[in-house]
Structure 1
Amino acid sequence: MPDSSPPAHRRAYTTPSGSARALAARCESRVNEIARLMARDAFERLPGYAELPDEVKDVEIAATVRNGLRLFLRRVREPQGRPGDYGLFRERAAQRAEEGMPLHTLLRSHSAALYVLWQALRDEATAEESDALIELVDFLLRGHEAVIGAVTETYVAEQAALSAEHREHRRSLVRGLLDGSTPPRRAYDELGLEGPCLVVHVHLPREGGPEDTTVADRRRARRVQAVVDRVLGPASVSLLSADGGHVLVPGMSGDKDGIRACEELCAPLRQACGTGVRLSAVDAAGAPEVPAAARTAAEVVRVARACGRPAGFHSLHDVLLEYHLSRRNESSDRIAALLDPLQDRPDLVDTLRAHLEHRQDRRATARHLGLHPNTVDNRLARITELTGLDVGSPHGNALALTALLLRGSPTGEGGHEPTGA
């Protein structure tokens, strides 16, 4: 493993005196003995050490201990150090992180080794070598600081990499489960799910516009994930981005239409991402039903947006008629095209959507849009003039609503791009 120790780890310490070097040299013949004391006696008292495989204790840890002893003795002779001095410590720290050894146990092993080496130097020193012993202990402690720094840095970096790899693996499993590219049962098992679950779709507003940066998106996604983890607990699994996504919540099949889960999520998500948050949830009886439940939940949110429903929680029951009208068939393209003349008039589209949502109440529509009722009347008249739809009649209203819903459907299904959505 490359040695990327900070410059402080390679600084040239003051060269020990001749008597200090002589004292250290007398310990060189005892390297194997001291290593055994460390690996078998001092380390055995550390929590979890006894459970390690013999190969790790007798080969890897013993080799690291001998390397550390020889490094100390060489640095007494050559205080300037060499590139790669801490390479083996870093390699072993990465291995211990991968194996799951706690960092405190790893650091305590280095401190225990330090104490054993101090004992060996103390036992070797004569009464006349007290100054040399103090000099070596000072040198030893400064070297220990560098070793601990290299070990901790590597361990933390390796754990971060492993954690990121684990998160991405889980995200890929959820992605594969939702899009059908991974067998549902396999994905379910690897995610630790079983039985029924609630599939929640989260839609987040893009209030910042196209200038939002990648960094801002990452921060936003982390905020969303933190809210979901806090509210729905560690058992939930998710595939979320800055725009929203899906969350699978096991053990909530009794939550009718996901009302409780979505209500609990809505307020903190609004605080984190703005008032335009939309949520929907659908029950899935098991792994095979999850993809369809996810599609339905996402479609409920899309329909609610397309027909102008206020942001918040939407259930399928809330948009039953609109959901039905938005299903595509051979007439869909012609109906959607009825609103083509409004393509460059988002103000008219917004007025039409608000007029339908407020049950054709011109005053309620005007209040919602912040307009005078006469302005609403003028806009509705202009819509009729451009499209030929009589939005004052039940038939015209039904056609206009259906056209709005179909134009808001995914373009991959043959629909139009959303107009003024």
Structure 2
Amino acid sequence: MGATEATETDPLPELSDAARALAARCEPRVNELARRMSQGAFERLRGYDRLPSDVKDVEIAATARHGLRLFLDRVGGGEGAHPAGDYDYFRERAAQRAEEGMPLHLLLGTHTLGAHVLWRALRDAARPGEEGALAELSDYLFGAQQRIVTAVTETYLDEQTAIAAERREERRSLARALLAGAGGGGVEGPVLVLCLRFPPGSVPAPSPTPAPVAARRLVRRLQAALDRAFGAEVLTLVDGGGGHALVPGHTDAPDELPALLRELREICGPGLRLAAARAERPADIAEAARTTTEIVRVARACGRPPGLHRLDDVLLEFHLSRTGAGSERIAALLEPVAERPELTETLRTYLEAGQDRRATARRLSLHPNTVDNRLTRVAALTGIDLTTPHGTALALAALLLRMRTE
């Protein structure tokens, strides 16, 4: 049973005739009390003075009048006079206030202060000997107020959740369109395009948590960190394995990206890879996104550790990995060692280590002679002479082109 269901269906206290008679004396003051709430008591609430005058003088005043009449009608006619649906009015107003961006504390403050104004009116109307009747009405008022506050809070939060989800989907749709090269959607000027990639194992979630839930949590935290870092709403299209982020109006700032990487690594884990490119205009975003994706792919293919990757860092490898006439033939050079992962890994590590056999041996925890034997075997099977600059470049290009299709 939910909180709203419990408070709306549990019966309110029974009232004596004396309590009903005391409440009835306040009925002629409904309009006066509503004005006192909207134009007096609520002015003490932080932020109330910034609300539009029509909201304060019309809508909030109308809500106050409705609450007063609802209370007095229920007191006068008993619980059966108004069903639980009477709270629909408060729910509608709460949804409207959430849509307008009114803070929840301010909305709830109007309800709690309104109850206080009504209680003071009941107290002032009480005559000597009606202390018991006033106590009954106090219990009744606080019980009814709990129901209203619960209904208002739940509706407000539900509406805010729906608005946030709608806003997130709008941002995702815009990011999807921009990355596909379709329209600017109001985005103008240069755009910083980020590519983020991390392995599924880096998703920080306890083992009992379902993977989709952990991925959604990761995406939400990532979005918040990006928005905070750039001081604006960043357009993202990211899932549990990574994706792209678009920052309108920003450029590739070398001093900022390392700091951003450190913050994002705390969220996504140490396996995060990040690349950035500048799109001069929205029409260039799709190409910039492809470039960042390729930078990350090439960096990973070359054995570079996770981190921030720039085009200048992998410029030669990036160029060698471009497809064109002859690409298939170059990639096919390594076909003889395709089923020998230890040979392929040794070759890749050897190239990444700058053709240093001892450094290669250390990285692979092998004896240098084992590295030599494996490289000799690669040369014998592929026909590539790894002792010449031409052969080294050819092997590197073949590796990059093969990993492009894997």
Distance 2:369 2:390 in 1: 23
Cα contact 2:172–2:236 (8 A) shared by 1: yes
Please state if 1:363 is matched with 2:363. no
1:10 is aligned to 2:9: yes
| Partner of residue 281, structure 2 | 286
Q: 1:342 to 1:86 in 2, by over 3 A?
A: farther
1:50/1:379 Cα in 2 relative to 1: closer, same or farther (>3 Å)? Answer: closer
- 3-state DSSP of counterpart to 2:164: helix
Q: Is the 8 A contact 2:195 2:245 kept in 1?
A: yes
Distance 1:222 1:33, change over 3 A: closer
Aligned residues of 2:274 and 2:296 also touching (Cα < 8 A): yes
**Quick one: which of 367, 388, 398 aligns to 1:403?**
398
Deviation at 1:264, TM superposition (A): 1.5
1:12-411 maps to which residues of 2 (within 5 A)? 12-28=11-27, 30-32=29-31, 34-39=33-38, 42-43=41-42, 47-48=47-48, 51-52=51-52, 54=54, 57-58=57-58, 60-76=59-75, 77-79=77-79, 82-181=83-182, 183-184=183-184, 186-188=185-187, 194-207=188-201, 213-234=211-232, 236-249=234-247, 252-253=250-251, 258-409=253-404
Q: Deviations over 1:144-191 (max 9, x none)?
A: 12211221222122122212222221232222222212x12x341xxx
Rounded to whole Å, the distance in 2 between the matches of 1:120 and 1:208 is 61
Deviations 1:344-387 (A, max 9, x none): 43333222211111122221111111222232233324434544
- Report deviation, 1:68: 1.9
The match for 1:412 is none
Task: Encode CA deviations 1:30-54: one digit per residue, 9 max, x unaligned.
Answer: 5455445545555566654685364
Residue 19 (structure 1) shift? 1.1
Superposition deviation, residue 403 in structure 1 = 1.7
**1:346–1:78 Cα change, 3 Å:** farther
Distance 1:50 1:330, change over 3 A: closer
Q: 3-state SS of the aligned residue for 2:129?
A: helix
Q: Residues of 2 paired with 1:79 and 1:283: CA distance?
A: 66
Offset at 1:97?
0.8
Distance in structure 1 (CA, Å) of the matches to 2:21 and 2:90: 26
Deviation at 1:213, TM superposition (A): 1.2
Q: One-letter code of the match for 2:78?
A: E
Given that 2:191 and 2:278 are in contact with CA atoms closer than 8 Å, whether structure 1 keeps it comes out as yes
Please name the residue that 1:413 is paired with. none
Percent of matched pairs sharing the same residue = 53
Compared CA separation, residues 187 and 96, structure 1 to 2 (3 A): same
Deviation at 1:15, TM superposition (A): 0.8
TM-aligned CA deviation for residue 136 of structure 1? 0.7
CA offsets 1:16-40 (integer angstroms, 9 cap, x no match): 1221122223444554554455455
> d(CA) in 2 for partners of 1:32 and 1:268?
55
* Residues paired across the two proteins, number: 397
Structure 1 stretch displaced more, 357-366 or 81-90:
81-90
Q: Output the TM-score relative to the length of structure 2.
A: 0.85
- What's the offset of the Cα at 1:301? 1.6
- Residues 5 and 86 of structure 1 are in contact (CA less than 8 Å); yes or no, is this contact kept in structure 2? no
Instruction: Give the secondary-structure state (helix, strand or coil) at the position aligned to 2:130.
Output: helix
- Equivalent position SS for 1:279: strand
DSSP 3-state at the match of 2:244: strand
Q: Which amino acid aligns with 1:78?
A: G
Contact between 1:306 and 1:405, CA under 8 Å: does it hold in 2? yes
Unaligned runs of 5+ in 1: 189-193, 410-415
Query: Aligned partners of 1:285 and 1:161: how far apart in 2?
Result: 34
Using the alignment, how far apart are the partners of 2:3 and 2:100 within structure 1? Answer: 22
Alignment check: 8 A CA contact 2:276 2:310 kept: yes
C-alpha separation in 2, matches of 1:152 and 1:61 = 16
CA root-mean-square deviation: 3.1
Alpha-carbon distance in 1 for matches of 2:268, 2:138:
56
Q: Give the direction of change, closer, same or farther, for the CA distance of 1:232–1:45 in structure 2 (3 Å limit).
A: closer
Inter-partner Cα distance in structure 2 for 1:251 and 1:67: 48
Distance 1:269 1:39 in 2: 46
Deviation at 1:89, TM superposition (A): 0.9
Q: What is the DSSP-based 3-state SS (H/G/I as helix, E as strand, rest coil) of the residue aligned with 1:200?
A: strand
Residue 256 of structure 2 aligns to a residue whose secondary structure is helix
Write out per-residue CA displacement over residues 58-80 of structure 1, whole angstroms, 9 at most, x where no aligned residue.
3x445433432233234434347
Tell me, which stretches of 5 or more residues in structure 2 are unaligned? Answer: none
